[in-house]
Structure formats: C-alpha cells, structure tokens
Structure 1
Amino acid sequence: MFKGQPKGLYALSLANTGERFGYYTMLAIFTLFLQAKFGYTETVTTQIYGIFLAAVYFMPFFGGILADRFGFGRMVTLGIFIMFGGYALLAVPSGTGIAARVMMFGALTLIACGTGLFKGNLQVMVGNLYDDPAYAAKRDNAFSIFYMAINIGAMFAPGMAKWITNHFLAQDGLVYNGQIPALAHQYMAQGDAMAAEPLAKLQELAASMGAGADNLGEFCRHYVEKLSTAYNMGFAVACISLVVSYVIYVAFRKSFKHADVTAKQQAVSGAAAQVELTPAQTRSRITALLLVFAVVIFFWMAFHQNGSTMTFFARDYTTPEATGITRMGFDIFNLVLVLVGVYSLVGFFQSEKQRGKAISALVFVATAVALFFRWRTTPDPVHILPQEFQQFNPFYVVALTPVSVAIFSALARKGKEPSAPRKIGLGMIIAAGGFLILTLGSVGLMSPAEVKAAGASDAFVSQNWLISTYLVLTFAELLLSPMGISFVSKVAPPKFKGMMMGCWFAATAVGNYATSLIGYLWGSGMALWMVWSVLIVLCLLSALFIFSIMKRLESATA
C-alpha cells in the first residue's frame, strides 16, 4: 500500500490533513453554533448548512479553471490565505444582531472561496504525480492513502471541538446540555408565556446549574453567550491548523514541484506532450464523467446528513450517557490505540523480514494491554456531546483503508477488480443499507416536530444505532469517494484536468445543498423513520441508474 509511492504524495497528504482538521473542527459544531447563537430552527439551520457546503464544494470548479490558466500551486497558496481570513472572522466573539450575521456570512464566503482554490487543485497535483508511467499503476492506492490522510485530520476534529466547548463552559461553571439552547431562545422570545411543559424542562435544567426561577431570563442569555463564545474558540483552531498546513506545504514543496504543471505550461516548456485525444474521445470522456457526477450527487446528499440531521438525532434522540464497551469509542485516545493495533497487524502480514514481524507483534500486544488498562480505568458511564459521533466515520476510514486496498489489490491481481463506476454503484447500495439501520432505530420515536413541542423526546435510543450507521456509510464512502477522485484524475482530458476535478466538487456541492431538503422534512412533521426512508429510496434509485448505463461508462473510459 505505502511501498514505492512518490515522496510528494506524503507531503501533499499531510498538508491536506492540517487543513481538513481545521475544517472538520469547524463543521462538527457549525449547525450547533447556528442554533445556539442565533436561535435558528432546524429548517433554517440546514438551509444555511446546505448552502455553505454547496459553496465549499462548488467553488473548486472556478478554482480549477483559474488553475488551468495560472497554475495549481499558486491557487493552493492563495486559497490557504483566504481561508485563514474566513476562520479568523468566525473566531471573533460577536453579538446576535445584523452586524454579527453579516460577519458570519462573510466569513463563510471567504472559507468557501479559499477552499475552492485549495482543495481540488491540491488533488490535481496528486494525480499529476501518477502521470509518470513508473507510478501509474499505483494511482488508486495513492488516492486511498490521500483520502486516509484527510480523515486522520477529520477524526481528531470532533474531539477537539468537544474539549474546547467543555473547557470554556467550565470556566463559567457551566456544562453542555443540548436541550438548553433551543429552550433558552424560546424563553427569551416568549417569556413566561412559554408553554408549560418546555418551561418546566428549562427550569429543571437551569436549577441543575444553580439558576433559580426568578432569574431564568438572565440564565438563558448567559448560557447562550458563553456557549457561543466556546464555539468561537473552536473556530480559532482552524486558523492554527492552516498555519501548520502551510508550513508543511512550503517545507516539502521540492518533492512535488514537478507535479505543479498545467497542460499549457507543459507545452510551453517543451516537455514531452501527453497523448492527445480526438474531439470524439474528449466528448465521450466528459460525458462519462458527467453521468458519474449525476449519481454522486445523491450519495453526498445522504452522507452529509452527518453534520445536520444525524447530529440532531444524536442530540435529541440518543442517550447522552455511554456505558460498557460503547463508552470506549468516545475517547479519541482509545480510537488511536485501535488504529495502532490495526496497522501493527497490517505490518505483521506485509513485513518481508522476521524483524519487522516481531516489532509489529510487540506493538500489537502493547496496544492490547493499553486498551485493557483503559477499559479498566475509564469512568462508566461517560457523558457525550452530539458532535462526538462525527469522529467515527473518519476513524472507520483510516482503519478500513488497508483492508479496502488489500481486497482490491488481490482482485486486481486476478483481473477481477470492479471498475470505478461499478464501485460507485455498489457504494450507493451500501449507503442505502446504512440508512436502513437508522430507520429501524427510529421506529416508535416521536417526530422532530413533536420533540420541539414537548421540549424533549420521551424516549432515547442506544448510541450504537448511529455508530453502526456510520460504519456502513464508511464502507460506501470507501467505494465511492477516493475511487471517484482517482477516476476523474485518470479519465479527465489533459487540457481540462482542473475543470473536471472542479466538476467533481460541483456535483458534491449540489448534493451538499440537497442535504437541506432532508432538513425541511425534519421540520415538516413527518415521522422520523420516514425521513431516513427517503434517503434509502434515493440511494437505490441512483444505484439502479448507474448500473443501467454501466456498459457505456466502461467503454468510454477503457
């Protein structure tokens, strides 16, 4: 998996890890921040979330066009500086008036524009490393490694967001409770005219933090202000991570400088030209790519519920106390130990020398002992925050990538590896299975509208419903996302590499905006299990579509 890869891959991967750590720290708390600070409803929150994600993933289309003209490296550097300005604005504590909202939307615009210049063009340079015939056969494995690096950053982000939130709330003698922000905004708007049931719940929660019924309004304002400030500090983490990302990018630039070349620059320099495609071949490849892009829209629509409705499910329907073996997964140090154990096993089976096998075995045993010690010393139960569930998906990506690479490498040796479009179709079917788990876990629960009216759900379910859903969605993601990026870098006509990678992200953008449609259903009064069922149907229909055009896709890209 790692053997024989160019050094530039690791430099670009680490630079992306830093940037993604900051981005996912911000994203882990973004919807919670919108509701806590401004009191937005779930429908409005998911609209803003969907538009922002759409912008983040649509701007690489324009970033790719600019890079095809001015160079990939220049756009990546410019993107880092623009993103830094956006995160810095989000990190500034502000009020809740018009000026604060303008500043927030301005910050989101900068982040989207900066990401548009950074993200796709960095990935094009990764692909360019494998235009060298010596490395061409390693392209799919390379993008799996690159994707794993993204998720290493994403895995630590929710834990950082939790630590920041708890740390700054504790400074004011407060603890996090997901039910308080919505109830507090409701009380600040209605006062004592608030319905009896949610008012009683708010008084109970306020009393648990030392506030009496006579100063309930002051408690609400104080809690919302301090929680919002804690989220601001979480956004500041993204600024620091971007600095680290930039240092890595500059320090190791020599290892990938040769990949920072456009088709136009290559022609001017007199370097060996890439194989020219006929107009018919170019049209055929672009058509195939556009058909694949149409399918992945529905995957991202489903997958990125993690930051919206799946986070709402974690907050409103999931037991906030984890016990038994489940509690171990909510400590990032335990997840790191598991990853060390997984990769020590990989090292054991891949090592060609006995010394390597012995070291891997010792590391595995030490990891198992450490996990047993952690099991004995970790409190039972542990209190969890909604955003913590988002660490499971990147953890699964990092843990399962070696397994995925090993399986497809074995199939490739036998000449049976599925094509990239076929992997995408299989991924859509698996994604439907993930939401089937969540559908079953939601049967019998109150609808979101009923929860809002009552102030809290009358029943809470095990965290394992969400954890299992994330596991299955990760299997789907590994079939779709890294393979799709590799597919684009390989199939895109040379003159349109930046633009085609941008189109991949534009399709992702449409899917991200479509997440708000599920947010609309969330607040519409529809039964909870039916909300997830809509995603199941959409995933299955898109799988049916891609399999119906499979021969056309495979012939166009052969």
Structure 2
Amino acid sequence: MTQTAVEQPVITPTPRGKGHHKGLYVLFFTEMWERFGYYLMIGIFFLYLVDPSSNGGKGFDTTKAADLVGSYIALVYLSPFIGGLLADRYLGYRRAVILGGFLLAAGYFSLAAPGDLAMYAGLGLIIIGNGFFKPNIGTILGNIYNRADLAPKKDVAYNIFYMGVNIGAFICNFVAAYLRNHYGWGYAFAAAGVGMLVGLVIFASNLKKIAEGDIRKPASPDEMSTAKILGSALLPAILAAVIGYFISSPSLLGHTLFGTPSNDAFLFACVPIIIFYIRLYTTSKQKEDKRGLGALLAFFAVAIIFWVIYNQNSTGLTIWADQYTDRQMSPAMEKAAQPFGMLQTVTTEPHKVTQIDEHFRAIKDANGNTIEVPGADPYFQNLPKEKWPQDGKLKLLSTEIFQSINPFFIVAFSLIVIGIFGWLAKRGKEPTTPVKVAIGIFLAAGSSLLMVVAAAMTNVYIDKSSMAWLFGTYAVFTVGEILVSPIGLSMVSKLSPPRVTALMMGGWYLVNAIAGKVAGLMATFWDSFTNKTSYFLILVISAGIAGVVMLILSKWIARVVKEKTGSY
C-alpha cells in the first residue's frame, strides 16, 4: 500500500499539570447529551411498539417487538465497524463525530413523525449515525490520554467519561415519561433529537480543545487497504445476511434457525466479520501488536455474556417491569410524582389488545398474524379481577422510569468503587484489570440470580412482583458494569495497534451488537417460558462460566497489558 500524507489538525498545546485534560470535559458533556438521546429512545422503544394503536403505539406483540428491538440494538452497535474504519482512514475523528451526531438527530426526529416508513427510516439514520459517532468519540479520548503525562490517568478519565454517559441516561427517562404521558410518543422521540443537537453544539464549539485526540497515524506498507477490508468483511457479511434471511423459505429449510428471519440474517452476517478480526490477529507481523490483538479478542469473546445481561434492560427486564411488577404507589408518592409526569394511567376499559392464551403467549391466526381483541390494558392480564380498581383506572409509575435505576447507581457508586480500588492500590493489593472484569461478570451473574429468586417467589399469573427486586438487580449489576464497561474502552485504547484503534473500537461494539441481538432473541421466546425462573437461570449459568474463563485468562492478559503500557 502506498503511503500518503495524513492531514493533521491544528493543535492548541494543553498545559501539563496535575489535573485532567480540558478535552475530557468537552467529550464528557458531548457524550452526556448523545446518551440522553440514545437512552431516551431505547428506554421507550419497546413500550411504544407494544402499546395498543388506540394509545398511539404500534400494537406489536411481544415477539415482534422484541425481534425489532434486538435487531436495532444489534445494528446500532455493528455499524461502528464501518464508522471506525472510515474515520481511521479518511474522515478523521472529529469530522466523523459531527457527521454521526447530525444523522442521529435526524433519526430521532424521524421517529417522532407518524407512520411505519418514518419509523424505519429513522432507525436507519440512527444506526448509521451511531457508527460514525460512537467509536470515534472514545478514540479521541484515548488518543488524548496516550500522552506520557496523562497515560497513568487513563482509566480514571474513562470512568469520568462514563459518568457523563450515565447522567444523560438517568435524566432522559423522566423527560420521556413526562412528554409521552402528557403529549404523546412523538414528542418524547423529538426530545432525543434536541438532546443530540445540544451535544453537537458543545462539541463543535470546542474543536481546538480536543484536537490532540484527532491524530491519525500514517499508513504502514503492510497495512490492509480499505477496499480489502470492505471486500473481506463487509461484502461477505451482506451476502451471509441475505443467505440467513432467506434460509427459512419453503424451498430451503422451511423454518428459521434462530426464531425469526432477522435473527438468522444478523447472526449469519456476524460470521465473516468475526473471521475478519481473527485474521487481523493471525496476519499481524509485529509481535507486540499480535499479542495485544490476541488479548483483546479473548476479552471480547468473554464479555459477550456480560452484555447480553446488560441488554436485558431493554428487553427482558423491561417486560418484567411493565407486566409483572407492581407499579402502584402510595398516595403520598403518587402526589409527589404527578407534577413530573412519572405516572401513567392504565384502564380496564376495552380497547384493542393482543389476544393471549392462559400462559400469556400471543395467539396468532393461520397466517402468523397476531390476533387483537377488545380487552383491558396488558397490566391487568395477570391480575385477578377481584384486584381490579372499581373505577376501571389505575395510576402507575411509568415503566421507563425503571430505566433510570441503573444510571443512578452508576453515578452513585462510581466514586465509591474508584475509591476502594485506590485504597487497595496504595497497599499494593489492587486487582489487575482482567481480574476486575472477571469480578464484574460474576456480579452480573448475581444480578440475574436475584431475578431467579424474584420469579420463583412470585406466581406471575395471579400476582405482581415487588419493585424492590428490580432495584436490587440493577444495584448489583451496576457495580459489575463499573468494572467492565469503562475498563473495556480503556483496554481497547491500551492494546490496539495505533492505526486500527477506531477499528478495534468497532470490534468492541461488535461484541455489544452480538449481545444485543442475543438478548432480543431470548426475549422473542419470553412467552414460551411458562416458568420465568428458567429465563433468568440461563443468564446466571452463562455468566458464571464466562467469569471463570476470564479468571483463567486474567494472568496472561495482565502480562500483555503490562508489556504494552508498563502497568496492569
């Protein structure tokens, strides 16, 4: 490959001192508003899809809604593979972030418009926009903290950055609840677009402060060309997706392999991309780069199970919060919540709802279409009639508010966790980064174990579960998330060869994509699990195995990190 000159940005030198780089705070607030929009949208999307059309929703059954949500999560995390590549080679990281932000905002505003065409067009814009935005804002931060005097602060910088993510994720659900309860779904989706535009203004007005992070390394002679990368990964992925989608046709298998055609298409498409990343490792000629890539790929493989549990937040746990959790509040709490739009009214008055069997599975006609009949709100479908309100109406805590529990605990626990590890570090007892990840995966298993207990203690066909179980589950999982998610970003920055950092960020988000699709795949079978304990027990066992594997690999990965960075 012929070397070409790489355009370098104008850099305003940043003084070297004891504090953090000013660019960290620019990226903090940009990401905070971008995540405000993303988590607002994903927090209400499933609820919007299953809401009866008479209420302004789409009226999908659980299976169809979970399939679409899983596909969306998968693609929104798969697109960074392309966005990272184009930023590495052509656009630069700041331009990619700005382009991605505009596409994201356009996508959210499209969701606010009525009609299926606007919805699917909006999802497409968000998926593409996230591909440009997500890997590259993290790469800018990593490049800034590669500077010698800032490198020791990199893990802390990513934890601060991650708090920005979760402040946005916490606030957004209250905004979503207020707008959708008072004005309708469209206004809530539009608020996500406004949030993204605010983030763009912050980013674009501070470009000089983050210029240090927009340095692209010159191409090396043995580097794969962009055409070769696309030809060996993207094109095969598209072909595999087409094969996967049509494999369920009567002339071939006559049935799907993974529940729905979209599941088959996505999982088939992942195979060539996974092979591409493996080849990136096997063909690497520099020993140091090869060891770093090997450690990263091992970490990626183990982390998938963690992210499957994380994405239950948008699938299985949302279903549990919406239909199986007692969301009634005391009169005093109801009065306090009313002005903030945190309450939604459900009614026993007949309107179109999905017809279900005795185990709350959607009933379909001979053509596979969901049958809708006049009936009460789905909240009452697993509540005995003697417990129905006399006036036919209940005011409940809006389901999307539960989406704010996790980011609240992130903000509340982050400084405590950082403080504990700082205390251990002073005594020479701080666990290595890979051991922290293993602990985080075990905590994720523990959070799902709480849901096993909750499901076992509640007969969900005649009663509701306490909200306390969800609070406990999110609290335990959150500590694990603090140990895995920001550390994962930091590890990608530490171990990636410089010219493929954003591409490896894309690989980190590929892990999220596969996990998101698996989470959606699991939720499509939600109605088939007559015993909900089995659903969550699958997650407990899988995460337990993944945690053990991570512990086994931890010494090797820690040595590679030490070789690359000089510290664990």
TM-score, normalising length from structure 2?
Answer: 0.71
The residue aligned with 1:142 is 157
The alpha-carbon deviation at position 22 of structure 1 amounts to 1.0
The one-letter amino acid of 2:97's match is: V
The one-letter amino acid of 1:11's match is: V
The one-letter amino acid of 2:94's match is: G
Change (3 A) 1:530 1:324: farther
The residue aligned with 2:195 is 241
Out of 313, 319, 329, the residue aligned to residue 312 of structure 1 is: 319
Within the alignment, does 1:50 sit opposite 2:4 as a pair? no
The residue aligned with 1:64 is 84
Q: Secondary structure at the match of 2:431?
A: coil
The residue aligned with 1:344 is none
Instruction: Return the alpha-carbon distance in structure 2 between the equivalents of residues 135 and 431 of structure 1.
Output: 31
Q: Please, which runs of 5 or more residues in structure 1 have no aligned partner?
A: 95-99, 169-229, 268-276, 336-380, 448-456
The alpha-carbon deviation at position 410 of structure 1 amounts to 2.0
The residue aligned with 2:439 is 426
- Percent of aligned pairs with the same residue? 34
Question: For 1:138-537, what aligned pairs fall within 5 Å after superposition?
Answer: 138-168=153-183, 230-264=184-218, 279-323=286-330, 383-446=396-459, 457-537=461-541
The residue aligned with 1:551 is 555
Deviation readout 1:317-371 (Å, 9 max, x if unpaired): 11121349988997999x9xxxxxxxxxxxxxxxxxxxxxxxxxxxxxxxxxxxx
| Aligned 8 A contact 2:40 2:192 in 1 | yes
The residue aligned with 1:106 is 121
Within the alignment, does 1:85 sit opposite 2:103 as a pair? no
Change (3 A) 1:330 1:254: farther
CA RMSD of aligned residues (A): 2.5
Out of 60, 75, 100, the residue aligned to residue 96 of structure 2 is: 75
The alpha-carbon deviation at position 555 of structure 1 amounts to 2.3
Instruction: Return the alpha-carbon distance in structure 1 between the equivalents of residues 555 and 110 of structure 2.
Output: 49
| Aligned 8 A contact 1:148 1:401 in 2 | yes
Q: Secondary structure at the match of 1:513?
A: helix
Instruction: Return the alpha-carbon distance in structure 2 between the equivalents of residues 140 and 533 of structure 1.
Output: 33
The alpha-carbon deviation at position 68 of structure 1 amounts to 0.8
Q: Secondary structure at the match of 1:321?
A: coil
Change (3 A) 1:108 1:484: same
Out of 30, 33, 36, the residue aligned to residue 15 of structure 1 is: 30
Instruction: Return the alpha-carbon distance in structure 2 between the equivalents of residues 317 and 325 of structure 1.
Output: 23
| Aligned 8 A contact 2:98 2:204 in 1 | no
The alpha-carbon deviation at position 444 of structure 1 amounts to 4.7
| Aligned 8 A contact 2:329 2:397 in 1 | yes
Deviation readout 1:463-499 (Å, 9 max, x if unpaired): 1110111111101100100111111111111121111
Q: Please, which runs of 5 or more residues in structure 2 have no aligned partner?
A: 1-16, 52-56, 222-283, 343-393, 563-568
Within the alignment, does 1:119 sit opposite 2:73 as a pair? no
Q: Which has the higher helix share?
A: 1
Within the alignment, does 1:128 sit opposite 2:143 as a pair? yes
Q: Which moved more, 1:315-324 or 1:529-538?
A: 315-324
| Aligned 8 A contact 1:420 1:484 in 2 | no
The one-letter amino acid of 1:512's match is: G
Change (3 A) 1:21 1:548: same
| Aligned 8 A contact 2:494 2:561 in 1 | no
Deviation readout 1:87-144 (Å, 9 max, x if unpaired): 12101123xxxxx2x3322211110110110011001101111111111111011000
The one-letter amino acid of 2:114's match is: P
For this pair of structures, how many residues does the alignment match?
Answer: 426
Instruction: Return the alpha-carbon distance in structure 2 between the equivalents of residues 304 and 108 of structure 1.
Output: 18
TM-score, normalising length from structure 1?
Answer: 0.73
Q: Which has the higher contact order (CA 8 A, sep 6+)?
A: 1
Q: Secondary structure at the match of 1:264?
A: coil
Instruction: Return the alpha-carbon distance in structure 2 between the equivalents of residues 241 and 444 of structure 1.
Output: 41
The alpha-carbon deviation at position 441 of structure 1 amounts to 1.1
